[in-house]
């Protein structure tokens, strides 16, 4: 497969003497779905910030395939095919679901992509495929503003997929979702991984279990435990700092 490996080794981030990341090492394989859990302040968001170039590491290696992400700015990293979903949706309420996806397509990673789509007329097929992928085909002509909270989150994931990322970073996607929406989101993320790598930060352990993937537990800026959900839930160190509370 074409994918590239995300590689973090010995990464530290120090804010005013405070170590938000402390010698963090993590490898995510091409096409892998990875969950990252950990208590508040563990460094999960900072890890995402380092991967996307928002925050510069004080020390360590951060690479994606052959590319050294510590030498690139946020725009260059996005162009490389690393997409990030924030907690707050940024969909346009007055536009339809279809139009939101169309708009995401017109904000291409590079000028060549724009030219190619404008000439090819493949755009509609691409939007239709994404609608199927996110399970909103029947809502295509509805205004985004009338979607449920969960459906808006899926639309936003769809908008990121329109950029055809090779790595997607998702921060707390199921906060505020119903149980049914949470289940759907786990299946959705498991489905879209495989064709690209997906790293999901989340607190909801039932959701993490439903994704059925490798889990990394962060604590005080480092990896405390890693493995299957059963492995980490039974790891005594994890129970002490996180689950046992």
Residues that bind ligand ADP (CB under 6 A): 15, 18, 20, 38, 40-46
The number of residues making up the chain comes to: 245
The partner residues of 193 in beta bridges, in order of sequence, read: 196
222 binds, among Mg ion, ligand ADP, none (CB under 5 to 8 A by kind): none
CA distance 106 to 39: 38
Closest residue to Mg ion using C-beta atoms: 45
CA distance 233 to 155: 32
Nearer of residues 74 and 179 to ligand ADP, judged by Cβ: 74
CB-nearer residue toward ligand ADP: 54 or 191: 54
**Which residue, 20 or 167, has its beta carbon nearer to ligand ADP?**
20
Task: Tell the smallest beta-carbon distance from residue 45 to Mg ion (Å).
Answer: 3
Query: Rounded to an integer, what distance in angstroms lies between the CA atom of residue 242 and that of residue 219?
Result: 9
User: What would the x/- binding string for Mg ion be over residues 18 to 57, using CB under 5 A?
Assistant: --------------------------xx------------
CB of 39 to Mg ion, least distance (A): 10
Number of alpha helices (DSSP H) and beta strands (DSSP E) in the chain: 10, 10
Any bridge partners for residue 8, and if so which? 26, 62
């Amino acid at each position: 497969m074409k994918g590239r490996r995300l590689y973090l080794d010995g990464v530290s981030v120090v804010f005013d003497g405070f170590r938000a990341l402390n010698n963090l090492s993590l490898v995510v394989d091409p096409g892998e779905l990875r969950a990252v859990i950990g208590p508040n302040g563990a460094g999960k968001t900072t890890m995402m910030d380092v991967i996307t170039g928002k925050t510069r590491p004080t020390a360590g290696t951060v690479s994606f395939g052959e590319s050294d992400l510590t030498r690139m700015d946020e725009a260059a990293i996005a162009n490389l095919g690393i997409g990030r979903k924030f907690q707050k949706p940024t969909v346009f309420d007055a536009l339809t679901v279809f139009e939101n996806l169309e708009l995401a397509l017109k904000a291409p990673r590079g000028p060549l992509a724009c030219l190619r789509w404008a000439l090819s007329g493949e755009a509609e097929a691409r939007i239709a495929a994404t609608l199927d992928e996110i399970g909103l085909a029947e809502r295509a002509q509805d205004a985004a503003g009338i979607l449920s909270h969960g459906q808006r989150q899926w639309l936003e994931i769809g908008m990121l997929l329109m950029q055809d990322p090779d790595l997607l970073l998702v921060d707390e996607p199921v906060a505020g979702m119903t149980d049914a929406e949470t289940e759907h989101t786990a299946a959705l993320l498991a489905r879209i991984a495989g064709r690209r790598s997906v790293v999901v930060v989340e607190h909801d352990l039932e959701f993490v279990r439903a994704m059925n993937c490798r889990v990394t537990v962060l604590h005080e800026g480092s990896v405390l435990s890693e493995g299957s959900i059963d492995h980490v839930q039974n790891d005594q160190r994890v129970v002490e700092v996180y689950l046992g509370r």
